[in-house]
């Protein structure tokens, strides 16, 4: 692919040749406009365009459930969920970090696998499964029990762990310092 301009947030370079293999970028280099290889039929000429690096959204909730579904027992609502991921990719987001959904485990991981296998169109997906909070972790309390929840999340395919220290502005803390330390230590020991 040939671009007249590449924007990398530090400088604007012109012109640029982007080498592709399948859907992966394998090289990025400047080129000489007089080089005849640049005019070959294998080159997609986008020289009137600007190329940005892939964008990353670190806080999304794209996996939706039906309005009448029971949270934590529901399956993802299709095609709304698929459309959310397709639109994100079309807008230039090549990676998103999904912060959990109200679906039953491991639907977030299943969707990530569908994107990786080309069944769904979407950006690379990093998932946390469901956030660790009193209701969302099955009412588990105590450091030992919370370590087991973290182990289960990671074994289930979570790329990272989301913890709710409290549920709202006026609510008391969900977990003690000892419990939060156990959650963090267990997650760090696994990654």
Instruction: For 107-166, write each residue's pLDDT tens digit.
Output: 889 999 999 999 999 999 999 887 787 655 567 789 999 999 999 999 999 998 888 877
124 bridge partner residues: 95
For residues 14-43, b (16+ Cβ closer than 10 Å) or e, as one string?
A: eebbbeeeeeeeeeeeeeeeeeeeeeeeee
In DSSP terms, 98 is beta-bridged to 60, 127
pLDDT digits (tens, 9 = 90+) for 16-34: 778 888 877 888 777 766 6
pLDDT of residue 7: 56
Residue 147: per-residue pLDDT: 94
Q: How large is the angle between the packed helices 143-155 and 177-190, nearest 10 degrees?
A: 30
- pLDDT confidence of residue 64: 84
CA distance 26 to 150: 37
Fill in the DSSP letter of residue 109: H
Other C-beta atoms closer than 10 Å to the C-beta of 165 total: 12
More confident residue, 109 or 3: 109
The proportion of the chain whose per-residue pLDDT surpasses 70, expressed as a percent, equals 81
Give the pLDDT confidence score for residue 83 in this predicted structure.
Answer: 94
Distance, in Å, from the CA atom of 80 to the CA atom of 87, rounded to the nearest integer, reads 10
Q: Are residues 25 and 80 in the same domain?
A: no
**Rg of the Cα atoms in the chain:** 22
| Mean pLDDT value of segment 49-61 | 84
Query: 124 and 88 in one domain?
Result: yes
Q: Are residues 32 and 81 in the same domain?
A: no
Report the pLDDT value the prediction gives residue 36, as an integer from 0 to 100.
60
User: If you ran DSSP here, which 8-state letter would residue 20 be given?
Assistant: E
The verdict on 86 and 47 lying in the same domain is no
For residues 80 and 141, state if they share a domain. Answer: yes
Cα–Cα nearest to 136, from 160, 111, 161, 157 = 161
Number of domains in the chain: 2
My answer on whether 61 and 119 are in the same domain is yes
Q: Residue 154 belongs to a domain with what CATH number?
A: 3.20.20.140
Instruction: Please check whether residues 40 and 106 belong to one and the same domain.
Output: no
pLDDT at residue 87 tops 90: yes
Residue 124 is predicted with a pLDDT of 94
Asked whether 14 and 2 are in contact (CB, 8 A), the reply is: no
User: Which pLDDT score is estimated for 2?
Assistant: 54
Give me the pLDDT at residue 50, please: 72
> Has residue 170 got a pLDDT over 70?
no
pTM to 2 decimal places: 0.74
Last-in-domain residue among 18, 36, 51 = 51
Same domain for 94 and 138, yes or no, is yes
87 and 40 housed in the same domain = no
If asked whether residues 122 and 78 sit together in one domain, one would say yes
| Same domain as 71, residue 37 | no
The residue among 20 and 5 whose pLDDT is bigger is: 20
Same domain, residue pair 42 and 134: no
What is the span of the domain harbouring residue 115? Answer: 55-190
End-to-end CA distance of the chain: 37
SS3 category, 38: helix
Q: 3-class SS at 130?
A: coil
Instruction: Note the pLDDT of residue 22.
Output: 80
């Amino acid at each position: 692919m040939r671009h007249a301009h590449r924007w990398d947030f530090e400088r604007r370079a012109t012109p640029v040749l982007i080498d592709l293999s399948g859907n992966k970028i394998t090289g990025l280099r400047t080129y000489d406009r007089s080089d005849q290889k640049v005019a070959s039929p294998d080159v997609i000429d986008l020289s009137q365009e600007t190329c940005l690096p892939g964008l990353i959204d670190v806080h999304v909730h794209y996996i939706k459930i039906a309005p009448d579904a029971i949270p934590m027992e529901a399956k993802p609502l299709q095609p709304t969920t698929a459309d959310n991921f397709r639109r994100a990719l079309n807008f230039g987001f090549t990676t998103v970090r999904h912060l959990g959904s109200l679906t039953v485990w491991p639907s977030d991981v299943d969707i990530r696998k569908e994107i990786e296998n080309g069944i769904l169109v979407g950006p690379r997906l990093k998932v946390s499964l469901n956030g660790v909070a009193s209701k969302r972790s099955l009412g588990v309390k105590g450091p030992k029990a919370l370590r087991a929840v973290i182990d289960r999340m990671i074994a289930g395919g979570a790329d990272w762990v989301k913890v709710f220290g409290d549920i709202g502005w006026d609510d008391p803390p969900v977990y003690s310092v000892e419990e939060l330390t156990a959650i963090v230590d267990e997650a760090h020991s696994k990654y």
